[in-house]
Structure 1
Amino acid sequence: MPSYSYRCVEGCRFEAIYPMAEVPQETECRDCGAVARRAITAPHLSVADSSAFRLMDGAARSAHEPEVVTSLPSAAGPARRRSVTHNPLHAKLPRS
């Protein structure tokens, strides 16, 4: 939800959060209780670049629109190389 700035006649300033459809033009000041009117302020714009937005959009899209797989990956594809360890403690770890 967006935040809105308010200023009362006494000079107090504060921010309040309202749904866009329910933003009042006047509200009670949280500090002194006087009538506070909504102040016009600059919008809070993001400083993220386009690659950051693509990453955020892709993460959000994959949450509710995952890619559909129609077949198993081919066996001729790139093989995963398993690293060989000689530490005896690693033998106790579960295998995948």
Structure 2
Amino acid sequence: MVASSSNMIEVEVAFALPERQCIVPLRVAGGTTAREAVEIAGLEAKFPEVSPAVFQEADLGIFGKRLRDPDEQPLKAGDRVEVYRPLELDPKAARAQRAAREKR
């Protein structure tokens, strides 16, 4: 199905690494889901050092609010889809490590 221009909405897809970030503006058909927008954004090409699986499986949010089902969440005009990186260190483990260092 080809969407008419009146059915198109503007959204953004954002992803960041500690050293750089990228926000990709998109014009997509109404009804496009958050996960579909991430796929359309082509982040794999912009971040070749990141496994494509990260973008396919990552938790997603809209303006800082995590989505429960990004594969079903239709976007609204102006939404910014955020791709969340997996945690490198569990927050509880990080606190335990800091506490152990402070005891020394």
Identify the structure with the greater helix proportion: 2
Q: Normalising by the residue count of structure 2, what TM-score does the alignment of the two structures yield?
A: 0.24
If asked which structure has higher relative contact order (CA below 8 Å, sep 6+), I would say 2
More strand by share: 2
After TM superposition, the score normalised by the length of structure 1 is 0.25
